[in-house]
Structure 1
């Protein structure tokens, strides 16, 4: 009887402990970066609500911001919502006025910022074998593409090898 109770209690403890073991998470934290292929500045952007770095004209790729979220395993229909603010004239011919402390004059800034545009797009994320950082490509004609792969831009297997500098007349074909 005592032996039977010991076996039952051992099985009970084992089953309780196995319930506490962590199972593989479906979602992974992922750094967010961007590559701006346009002459505009990307003042700010988000991917599914998680923020990315600001990007100068024809810039980006180096700065990562943590953290977005991406499924460990790709699945058909995987999409991302990208929202961004664009400064179409990041280098005005007449520089923004500054006070004696170097701060931009608020009225002058407000006039410049009135030309900023805001955009939003829902785009598919191409298939990946291993989840990696989330990279947003900002393209002419207010288009974006998103990847989430460990494969680096420039590699033959990278899904979006656009030229680093693209003119606004070079609108990529919609997917």
Structure 2
């Protein structure tokens, strides 16, 4: 093996993968089943902080992108563990949690999925199949879906913002009324009426 190839294997964390049948390169994906913002999530091998991969950020009830790369065994074994490194907003603390990886579905390796649950705990699975497939080995089946409580809170926040905008527009028109042309006044009143409809629509959904 050339020096260049050896360096390449080390750089992308695939030294083991240079030996056929021992390990494989896995893309890193992440799921957030919680109402908190995930500022950072990554994965490491236990006892080796230099073996990490990932670093995604995820919105509440969201999914991260696909990031290369991390090394996983080609075949699952009973004591397979990884370290999930994560930070949940607004807490600036970085946490490191060692978690067990469940058996690969159908015995096939795949992407490594890092998971944040509603209670703040984390997990990891290696799966060729996504969360919507029946073979998915994660504790929760399916992709993250916002709860009704979360959706209601988002609507309330949006209603508050839109009301503040309406209040600003009305006060601005009142302040500038005698300095504006009739055409400008009409234009601003139309904008205000449109904003009122937005507020009324949101208000009806929140109640």
In structure 2, the gaps of 5 or more residues are 1-17, 45-51, 148-207
Matches within 5 A, 1:123-162: 123-128=99-104, 129-160=107-138, 161-162=140-141
The structure whose residues are more often strand, as a share, is 1
Between the two proteins, the alignment pairs up a number of residues equal to 119
User: Helix, strand or coil for the counterpart of 1:32?
Assistant: strand
Can you list the C-alpha shifts for 1:96-151, whole angstroms capped at 9, x where unaligned?
xxxxxxxxxxxxxxxxxxx4343221111111111101101100222112111102
Once the two structures are TM-superposed, the CA of residue 23 in structure 1 deviates from its matched residue by 5.2
Query: How large is the RMSD of aligned CA atoms in angstroms?
Result: 2.0
Matches within 5 A, 1:88-107: 88=90
Higher RCO, Cα 8 Å, sep 6+:
1
1:26 aligns with 2:22: yes
User: Helix, strand or coil for the counterpart of 2:133?
Assistant: coil
Q: What TM-score, normalized to structure 1?
A: 0.61
In structure 1, the gaps of 5 or more residues are 1-21, 89-114, 168-175
Larger radius of gyration: 2
Matches within 5 A, 1:10-49: 24-48=20-44, 49=52
Residue 81 of structure 1: which of 63, 80, 83 is its match? 83
User: Helix, strand or coil for the counterpart of 2:115?
Assistant: strand
Residue 60 of structure 2: which of 57, 62, 76 is its match? 57
The structure whose residues are more often helix, as a share, is 2
Determine the C-alpha separation between the residues in 2 that align with 1:28 and 1:149. 13
Moved over 4 A (4+): none
Can you list the C-alpha shifts for 1:1-42, whole angstroms capped at 9, x where unaligned?
xxxxxxxxxxxxxxxxxxxxx851411111101010111111
1:122 aligns with 2:101: no
Determine the C-alpha separation between the residues in 1 that align with 2:69 and 2:58. 17
Change (3 A) 1:139 1:23: closer
Can you list the C-alpha shifts for 1:22-79, whole angstroms capped at 9, x where unaligned?
8514111111010101111111111112124211111115x10100110011111101
